[in-house]
Amino acid sequence: WTLQDLRAELTRHCPEILAPLDEWMAAGADAGKLARAYGRLPKLSIDYALMEKSDRVAVVPARFRWSDVGSWPAVVEFHEADASGNVVQGDVILLESNNCAIFGGKRLIAGSGLENLIVVDEPDALLLCRKDRAQDVKTIVERLASLGRTDLL
């Protein structure tokens, strides 16, 4: 689809997605205000909002691995784990730790006796969560938005 096609389909099937973006564009498309416009978007996946409703999509049979990388556990699947089941990126030292995913930034991350954790180190925030609670990231994002912390969204 071209951008014009996407806009036409959104206008037809889910115009509430376009309203905040159109207002942002009309106000000068200030990058600093994009997070505010984004926060006003309905909480809908593109699949539900558009792809399931449009008659301008097609399904093509294919044989390839597919993963909807919409969660940290899905991201972890794309990385090779060590003998203890740990996936690490960056400057990371783990002792007697199992089944953890540590995505480091510029600083050292060291851990001991950790199990089933996801750690994501970014310059402005640090995410720590159990793997079985990774879906709570959505709630954290909602909380940040309600607190006006759009700088982190």
pLDDT in tens, 69-114: 778 888 888 899 999 999 999 999 999 999 999 999 899 999 999 9
Q: Which of 62, 84, 101 is the last residue of a domain?
A: 62
Inside any domain, residue 151: no
Same domain, 138 and 76: yes
Domain that holds residue 44: 3-62
pLDDT of residue 14: 92
Inside any domain, residue 150: no
Contact between 23 and 36 (Cβ < 8 Å): no
Q: How many domains does the chain have?
A: 2
